[in-house]
Amino acid sequence: DTVARMGGDEFTILLSNIGGSDAAAVVAKNIMKQIMLPFTLHGEELRLGSSIGISLYPDDGTNFSTLTRHADAAMYEAKDAGRGQYRFFSNEMDSSVHEHLSLERDLRRALENGEFYLVFQPQVNVHDNRVVHCEALTRWKHPERGLVPPDKFIPIAETTGLISEIGDWIIHESCRIISHWRDTLTTLPTVSINLSAQQFRQESLVDKILAILADYNVDATAVEFEITETAAMENAESTMERLSRLTEKGFSIAIDDFGTGYSSLSYLKRFPVNKLKLDRSFVMDIQTDPNDAAISSAIIQMANSLGLEIVAEGVETVEQRDFLAAKGCSIMQGYLYSKPLESSDFLDYLINIRYGHTSEQN
Ligand code: C2E
Ligand code: CA
Ligand code: CA
């Protein structure tokens, strides 16, 4: 057996005469188990996680470079699947890795080339049609590929560490736009900014946010941060501390994609959060799937009794809206109201809604 460090945090393990894939899986599991064992460094107990990709000779390649490339592809799949996973190479992975690598390369240049922009999606109170908040969503206009969806590039930005710079830009750009909107409208909806798990882990996050807001003379009450349920629960104690530091400064916090992760209800009660966002996957089939209907109404009830605001995501039809409203959810975000809009279109939307609203009342 040979173990070699290929660079960074990547290692290659060569097992000869391993037999079949079953034996390789056993070895992979054992290695992951050993790596996971806690160890002490300067008095701190630490744990490491690992992801393993496996390629087998001769099926997955007959030379070293093909075998390592394919093991690498499998490792990316394992990483995407979450911590502590291993994956065997399959042919579909090859093309997805090529794509991943080329996006990664382009992503590095996207920021300096000015290829990102923000769009805003209203969150509307069903009872009076007021736009109470809006969510800032990032768009990447790739020079050749066109729009690359955030579901595709945010995870790459996360694993490469680029999210730190991109995330800073998102906060800057949101503030710049808020201060621009202020020239036209005196009262604005709060702007909700997504924080990725990686960003949320940064020690300097709160100070950085405060510095950016100060640059644009934007008040903490003008923005809100969304963090996914999964990211929040990852390390509940440190989440608690980070969230407290944000709320102490006056920021609102929303738990995103609520219902898709595993929340501890006792944490949920203790976290200083202001709102939950009911995930789109429940709203989507609320009319047809009794389970989704039951989960949605349970989450709405829970939020209401914990005194948390609840926003339903992905509301596309009047039926969905009416069902959710009847269950006690008043704030909706979805195509029924509007798709995410570019800054100037969003400003027009706000002006129209307000105008339409007052003329309706008169
Ligand atoms: P998310 O935070 O859950 O954002 C909501 C997504 O649902 C957005 O997709 C939005 O366009 C979409 N959506 C809203 N209403 C409807 C609807 O009625 N029907 C349908 N089919 N879709 C609807 P988008 O903009 O593609 O973003 C996808 C995900 O990418 C986001 O999910 C978020 O996790 C991530 N993301 C987007 N922008 C950012 C960002 O600036 N920072 C971070 N960290 N993540 C972002
Ligand atoms: Ca969000
Ligand atoms: Ca969401």
Residue 6 Cα to ligand 1 middle (Å)? 36
309-352: pLDDT as tens digits: 999 999 999 999 999 999 999 999 999 999 999 999 999 999 98
Residue 307 Cα to ligand 2 middle (Å)? 20
Query: What was the pLDDT predicted at 19?
Result: 84
Residue type at 88 in one-letter notation:
F
What is the residue with the minimal CA distance to atom 25 of ligand 1?
A: 137
Give the Cα separation of 52 and 30 in Å (integer).
11
Question: What is the b/e burial string over 289-314, where b = at least 16 CB atoms within 10 angstroms of the residue's CB?
Answer: eeebbebbbebbebbeeeebbbbbbb
**Best mutation site among 280, 283, 338, 343 for ligand 1 pocket (most ligand atoms within 8 Å of CB):** 280
- Mean pLDDT value of segment 69-90: 89
93 pLDDT higher than 70: yes
Give the Cα separation of 299 and 259 in Å (integer).
8
Residue 312 Cα to ligand 3 middle (Å)? 9
The full length of the chain comes to 362
Question: Does the model's pTM come out above 0.75?
Answer: yes
> What percent of the chain is predicted at pLDDT more than 90?
75
Confidence at 356, pLDDT banded by 50, 70, 90: low
Q: Are 174 and 211 in contact (CB under 8 A)?
A: no
Mark out the alpha helices in the chain (DSSP H runs): 21-36, 64-80, 91-110, 150-160, 163-181, 197-201, 205-216, 229-234, 236-248, 265-270, 280-284, 290-305, 318-326, 343-361
Residue 253 Cα to ligand 2 middle (Å)? 11
> Which of 282, 281, 222, 232 lies closest to 254 in space, CA to CA?
232
CB 68 near ligand 1, within 6 Å: no
Residues 6+ apart with CB under 8 A from 285: 292
- Mean pLDDT value of segment 253-271: 88
- Mean pLDDT value of segment 60-64: 93
What is the residue with the minimal CA distance to atom 42 of ligand 1?
A: 194
**In the structure encoding, which two tokens stand for residue 46, read together?**
């630490």
Residue 137 Cα to ligand 1 middle (Å)? 6
What is the residue with the minimal CA distance to atom 13 of ligand 1?
A: 314
What is the residue with the minimal CA distance to atom 8 of ligand 1?
A: 137
- Mean pLDDT value of segment 282-298: 95
CB 194 near ligand 1, within 6 Å: yes
CB 334 near ligand 1, within 6 Å: yes
> Which of 198, 258, 254 lies closest to 225 in space, CA to CA?
254
| Beta-bridge partners for 274 | none
| Beta-bridge partners for 312 | 278, 332
Q: Is 300 helix (H, G, I), strand (E, B) or coil?
A: helix
> What percent of the chain is predicted at pLDDT more than 70?
98
Query: What was the pLDDT predicted at 277?
Result: 97
Pairing of β 2-7 and β 10-14: antiparallel
CB 170 near ligand 1, within 6 Å: yes
CB 122 near ligand 1, within 6 Å: no
Give the Cα separation of 337 and 357 in Å (integer).
14
Q: Which atom of ligand 1 is nearest to the CA of 196?
A: 44
What is the residue with the minimal CA distance to atom 17 of ligand 1?
A: 314
- Mean pLDDT value of segment 17-26: 90
By mean pLDDT, which of 26-30, 199-203, 220-224 is the weakest? 199-203
| Beta-bridge partners for 331 | 125, 311
Query: What was the pLDDT predicted at 6?
Result: 83
| Residues surrounding ion ligand 2 at CB below 5 Å | 194, 226, 256
Q: Which atom of ligand 1 is nearest to the CA of 315?
A: 18
| Residues surrounding ion ligand 3 at CB below 5 Å | 256-257, 313
155-189: pLDDT as tens digits: 899 988 899 999 999 999 999 999 999 999 989 99
Q: Which atom of ligand 1 is nearest to the CA of 316?
A: 18
Residue 34 Cα to ligand 3 middle (Å)? 36
Residue 314 Cα to ligand 1 middle (Å)? 9
Give the Cα separation of 144 and 142 in Å (integer).
6
